[in-house]
Amino acid sequence: MNPRRTFLMTIGIAGVTAAVGARAQPVVDEKEPQAVALGYVTDASRADAKKFPMYAPGHSSGNCALFQGKVGDATGACALFAGKLVSAKGWCSAWVKKGPAKHVWPPATLASSTCATENTSVELLPHREMLRPARLATWPAL
């Protein structure tokens, strides 16, 4: 068979496979057993505060660490509901506060500090993001 035909057939099969795989994911239904067990609701304002005292106004799937959607998305994947989407305005009892997006090193409190431990002074070098004994002018050659 001609290599060009083989290539075109491969591209055609890959395109069909991609189209089949690009189906929309289903959204979690509040009545599903897992959703009921976690107290999932599509609107956080409807969360049962008596049954789930850990709920607080302002908590929603969109600001949960388990939410895998982008900021501003109406729905997104959740680590707890594999293969399904949850509402960004929703809430469940597994809600965990989303941490900072980036870890910044060094922290501002250490940016230009030195400390002394066991008669050895250590200087923080922010531009290198490492510690170096202050009494050494340069790193020893390896």
Superfamily (CATH) of domain 25-99: High potential iron-sulphur protein (4.10.490.10)
Position 91 pLDDT exceeds 90: yes
Q: Is the pTM of this model over 0.75?
A: no
Q: List the strands of the sheet with 120-125, edge to edge.
A: 114-117, 120-125, 130-133
Q: Are 120 and 133 in contact (CB under 8 A)?
A: yes
Boundaries of every domain in the chain? 25-99, 103-142
DSSP SS3 for 109: helix
Least confident of 40-44, 65-69, 130-134, 137-141: 130-134
